[in-house]
Structure formats: structure tokens, C-alpha cells
Chain A
Amino acid sequence: MTTEAADSAEAVGTIAPAADPGFLRRHGGTIEYVLIPGAALVGALVVFGIFVAMFGKNPLDLYFYMYYGAFGTWFSWQNTLTRAAPLILTALCTALPAQLGMVIIGGEGALLIGALSATSVALALQGLPPLVVQIAMVVAGVIGGGSWIMLSGGLRQYRGVNETISSLLLVYIALAILNHLVEGAMRDPASLNKPSTREIGAANMIGTIPGTDVHWGLVFGLIAAIAAYILVYHTVFGFAARIAGGNIRAAKIVGLGVDKLILTVCFLAGGAAGLAGMVEVAAVQGRTNANLAAGYGFTGILVAFLARQNPLAIIPVAILLGGISASGGLLQRRLGLPDASVLVLQGIIFVFVLASDALYGRIGLLKGKS
């Protein structure tokens, strides 16, 4: 699937100029944003192919099963989209603060706190109409996750604590709180082997999009990503945030309320990840337990970087990485690769994407010299 993406990107780059000589000059930047991450992705896939070849597996089989497991059938497409939903939301948790120049990597913690808040509210409101419970869960998830990341933002702004480290420490603290509550105060006595909270009830689950097995969380993710894009690129608030991200002193001189900007953006970012937690509870798990710490928060960081922190680009990238993790099961069964192979591939992609940052503005063809 990735080679196709790269091919189409190259096709844009080579065919279009013949029709319009000024095309490259005007769109060179945009093409770069597709071409360079695409090339990084292909490079990472090649290296991963060599890696599995060292363990005696055929790389061509690997690529085939990856494609098949991710996008080969309607079933695998649904699996991919189901995994992409939380990834879009957790990627926003890194991408929104990035507009302000902050590196937040604690999406996993906000996801867990969001899930915990949503579950608590649903359990407290048992018996009310499902729609009321669901709306309350969304609000609770967003507030829970939002406050969690706002804590990192506030610590950075008021105490000068590095937000990257504090947000990551908060992941471990969130996990401890979740385990503490799930094994203590909120434990369902009937859950013996896997301590869990009580179920939120089948009626309160948000269900699937008609005609598919993909839950409504995907729509939540799409709406959130589009809203974030409009917020960042088409509102005064987003403009102010990008100014503050570019030069914080300039932002202060022109009188922007940087404190408020940082806290609001961090709240929205954490809110997105908290919503991912709510979706995982209300569409997949039906309750809160340690299964929720499935690493969506960490993969979301990779999605955000691969999308170059652009909220709209997050959507296709999340689908791509959702596809990679969806194909993990097939790779295990057919090729006998360990389940961690998806993690290895993600790590290699991440390294390649960051190294490819050095290429921007250096491809002669795209400077309009053609």
C-alpha cells in the first residue's frame, strides 16, 4: 500500500510539470511533504524487509501479508479503520501542542484517564437514557484526558518543568491510578482473572456504523481531526498559537495571552486522547481494565510526526499505521513473526521519518529549477 502511495506521489511530481511549468514552484513544498515522508516509509519497509530476511523469512511474503492483512479484504479494511480511530485521536494529542512548539508524548496517560473518567460517569448514571449516558461519557472523557495534559502544559508554563518528561511520567502515574482503582474501589467482584470495573451496559455502547463492523469512534476521530485542522489553520486562535510556537517572545510582545493559549491547546490535545479512551471503553472493551494500555498513545506520537503535525494529514497516516498494526496478527500466524515485529517496524519508520527531516528544501527538482 505504501509503495502505491509513493508511486502516486511521484506521478504527481513528474507528470504535472509538463502541463504547467510553474506548478513545481507553487506546489514544490506540498509535494515535498508527501514525497519525503513517503520515501522515508519505503526506506523503512526495505530495512524491515532486510531485517526479517535475516531471520530466514521471505520479505516479499512479508509485504504481501502486510498489504493483505491491512487493506486486502473488506474484513481487513474494517480492522484497519477500527484501529485507526484511536490513533487519529491520540496523534492529535501530540500534533496540537506541537503547533506551540511543545513536544507532548503523554497521550497514553490521557487515554487511560479519559477511559477511567468515562467509565466512572457511565457507572454512576446507570438507568438514564443511553444517549444521555453516552454524551456524559464523551464530556467526562474529554475533561479527564484534557486536564491530564493541561497539567503538563501548566507545569511547563508556571514551573518551567519540561513537558516531554512530565507528560511521559504522567503516563506511568495514570497507569498506576488505573490499576489501583480497577483492583480496588472500582473492581467488579465477578472479574477474577483480569481485574476490571463493572460493565457500562450493552445499551450504552456506541455501536457500529451501519453496514460495517467499524465503530462510531472513527467518525469521532475524523470530526476531531477536521475540527483541529480548521482551528489551527483557519481561526485567529490557531494563528496566535502558531505565532507563539514560532517565536514566543514575539507573541508576548504583540500581546498574546501565551499562558491561556498553552493551557487551552494542551486541554484540547489531552481531550482528544481522552476521547480515544472513551471510545475504547464505549465501543470495544465495555469496561475499564489494563487492556486499555495497548500502546495507542505511543503509536499516536509516530502518527503525528509522520503527518508532520498536520491534523488533516493525520487521517491517512493513522489509517496506514492502523493497517500495519492490523496486519500484525496475520504476520504472526502466516510467517511466525513475533507480535513485537509491528513495534520494530514502527520504530524503524520513526527513525527514518526523523532522519528525512534533513532532506527538506534540498531536492533540486522541487526548488523550481526544472
Chain B
Amino acid sequence: MADGSIGLWTVPLAVLGGAIRVSTPFLFVSLGECITERSGRINLGLEGTLVMGAMSAYGISYVTGSPWLGVLAAGITGALLGALHAGICSLPRVNDVAVGIALMLFGTGLAFYLGKPLIEPTAPRLPAIDFGWWSDVPQVRAALRVNVLFLIGLALAPILYWAFRTTRWGLLIRTAGESSDAARAMGHSVQLIRLRATMVGGFLAGIGGSFLSLFYPGSWNEGLSSGQGITAVALVIFARWDPLLCLWASLAFGGAAALGPALQSVGVTSGYHLFNAAPYILTLAIMIVTCSPKRTLTGAPAELSITR
């Protein structure tokens, strides 16, 4: 009955809910990638990190009974994959884009291999905070059931923005990304800075993965992530390596990704698969509009191979 009373309002509500719910993995991966790319290296392997994070979070949560230990395990797994990426990239003449592709395939394969026994069992999931208590409409309440990880991500974006501008660590990362010679002249090891930046990036991407398996959709299967990781990497590029813009872009993406299921719930089923591809189409469209062959993007770290 409540469903009938709000009618087509279901769609914008579901999109709002999606913007909050679906955006969290985008948010964590893009913030992580933002740190890595600011240090002058691109990690395309975060798609694999996301899936590995989802699998290890689910496994640890199932074994220990604590979803938060799962989140931690996902972060550590992500940091290890980040260290692997940085380690291989620090060898001479190794291309960071290619290593990213390799780790994307490796991470996904490893997660499917180790996750085989986890498809059946149900692991404890992360709790949600009910911000919709004031409303009687179930759709509003569903849209406003917010996970703590989203709030952490929400807080992390301005913190990173501030940290890049004012802290010693932020300056070091940006120096390594803008001119490795300058960082070296100051007596810092560029490889070490990039190793740490890639590990932190991997840590955040792993946590993004834990959200997928422990909150929404909230189970482990092999179709869990289909390109969210790579979309988030693209998102950093048109967010101009700015953590605050990453936040807005992630919210827009979450909304776009929720469009397909939302329309399906009100009976529009014909273009279901096309609406599901909305985030990818949106990414491509925004990249076409914002990129230009004549100039490098404003805000692009000068050392980044992908923009040169």
C-alpha cells in the first residue's frame, strides 16, 4: 500500500539510496587511487584489489564472526597487493600500467580460487545506522539506512584534501608526483614514497571491497564486482586528482548505478542491462567531455605516465 502511495517517487528515492549505498566502494577506491596517483604512479590493479578485499573480508568475517575484523583483513590484503605493485614497478623499465593489468587478472583469479568455499556460507554483515527513523515511508527508511563505512569515507575526503595541502606527508607525496628529481634532491626516496602511497591506496581499495561483500550487495560471489574498480580509477582522472571532487563523482556514480534496479522495481524492465551499464557510459561520456588532446589536464601530477 505504501508502495502505491508514493508511486514513481520510488525511482528518485532509490537513486538517492543508491547514491549513498552503491557509492561507497567507488569512494574508497577513488580516494585510494587518488593518493597513489598523486605520488606519480597509476595502479590499474585496484579492480583486483577490490575483489580480493571483498573475498578476504567475507572469509575473515565468517571465520571470526566479526565483520570489522573482516574490514581490517580486507585493508591488509589490499595493502599487500599494493606493495606487490609498487615492488614490481620499482624494478627498472617496468611499466606501471601493465603491472596494474597483471594484478587485476591475478587478484580476481586468486579471489575466485580462495573464495570458492565461501559462496555457500553466510557471514555476519556490517551493521547499518538508521537515519530514516523520522519517516513512515519504507522506501525513505531503506534509502537512509547508512553504513558506517560510508560515513568514514565521507569524512576521509575532506581530511585527505586538507592533508594534501598542509601536512608534511601530503607535500612529500605531491613532490614525488610532480617532480621525482625535486624529491630526490630533498633527500627522499621516491620509490619509498610511492611504495607507501600505493600501499595506502590498496588498503582503502580493499576496504571498498569489504563493503561489497559485507554490506551491499552483502554476499560473496564471482560476479560481485564488474568493473567498479576500473571505473573508480577513471573517476579520479576527471575528478582532477581532488579528493573532494572524488566524493561528488562517487555519489553521482552510485546514483547512476542504482538507476537500473530502481527502474526495474517500478516495472521498467526493457532496458535493464543498458541502465546497468550507466556508470560506464557516464564515465566514458565525462572523460570525452573533460579530456583534451591539446593540453594536459589541470591538476594532473606531472610524473604520471598515463597523462604524458
Contact = CB atoms under 8 A, between A and B. Distances in A.
B168 interface: no
Interface in A152-196: 155, 157-162, 164-166, 168-173, 175-177, 179-180, 183-184
Interface string B278-291: 00110110011001
A343 B280 contact: no
Interface stretch (A61-69, A214-222, A347-355): A347-355
Interface residues of B, number: 49
Given A343-B108, A354-B94, A358-B92, A169 B102 contact: no
B252 interface: no
Contacts of A103: 95, 97-98, 101
Interface stretch (B15-23, B205-213, B269-277): B269-277
Interface stretch (A119-127, A130-138, A200-208, A297-305): A297-305
Contact of A159 (B103, B270, B292): B292
Interface residues of A, number: 47
Contact of A165 (B113, B233, B271): B233
A367 to B, nearest CB: 16
Given A172-B280, A355-B91, A344 B230 contact: no
A301 B105 CA distance: 10
B273 A179 contact: yes
Interface string A330-346: 00000000101111111
B151 interface: no
Interface in A250-298: 298
A343 B52 CA distance: 14
Contacts of B230: 165, 168-169
Contact of B280 (A173, A338, A353): A173
A354 B88 contact: yes
* Majority DSSP secondary structure for residues of B touching A: helix
B234 A169 contact: yes
B91 A358 contact: yes
B231 interface: yes
Contacts of B293: 157-160
Interface in B79-99: 84, 88, 91-95, 97-99
B94 A355 contact: yes
A173 B106 contact: no
B292 A180 contact: no
B8 interface: no
A262 to B, nearest CB: 11
B93 to A, nearest CB: 5
B273 A344 contact: no
Contact of B112 (A162, A172, A338): A338
